Amino acid sequence: MRIAFLTAPAGVEQIELTDPWQAARDAGHEPVLVSTRSGKVQAFHRLDKADTFPVDEVVGETSADSFGALVLPGGVANPDFLRMDDKAVAFVRDFFDRGRPVAAICHAAWTLIEADVVRGRVLTSWPSLRTDVRNAGGTWVDEQVKVCDHGPNKLVTSRKPDDLKAFCDAFLRVFSEDAD
């Protein structure tokens, strides 16, 4: 399955990109780095610059129809930038409209909120987003990973880098179930 990993040009938390990417690849999936512009994305380790990664496809030049699932890595700047980009928000919303599974970790819930896909769903995120999730009509829970089956697709969410193992295990299971 082709899995889109949507990131902004700068600000993605490196481990929240690389660990799920490797888990997807190890499970036989094809991870594809999608961003709002071509070139490279700058990853961070907390507030320090880390590695850069080449962009495979650009939002606005690709569609959710090209992918079986979506992963939204976190970091603070990454989802904040994405939620201000109309094409990125539409790309995320399109996965929900098509009933495709989505996984989001940490601050990535901001992008889900902007895409207006949180209402009626139970999810987790970085704790400081709980009020944002509630104000968007969702139910926030403090759990390592949460799988929500509300609507035609499944949403997998997780709180932070310490939850990455559980996050990867859950989204791989959900993505495999959806592919069957």
Q: Alpha-carbon torsion 17, 154, 122, 118, what sign?
A: positive
Burial class (CB in 10 A: 0-12, 13-18, 19+), 90: middle
Strand segments, DSSP code E, in the chain are 2-7, 10-13, 30-35, 40-45, 48-54, 57-58, 69-72, 102-105, 122-123, 139-140, 145-148, 155-158
Residue 26 DSSP label:
H
Measure the CA–CA gap between 149 and 92, rounded to whole angstroms.
Answer: 17
168 classed as catalytic: no
| Per annotation, catalytic residue among 6, 77, 104, 106 | 106
Instruction: List active site positions.
Output: 106
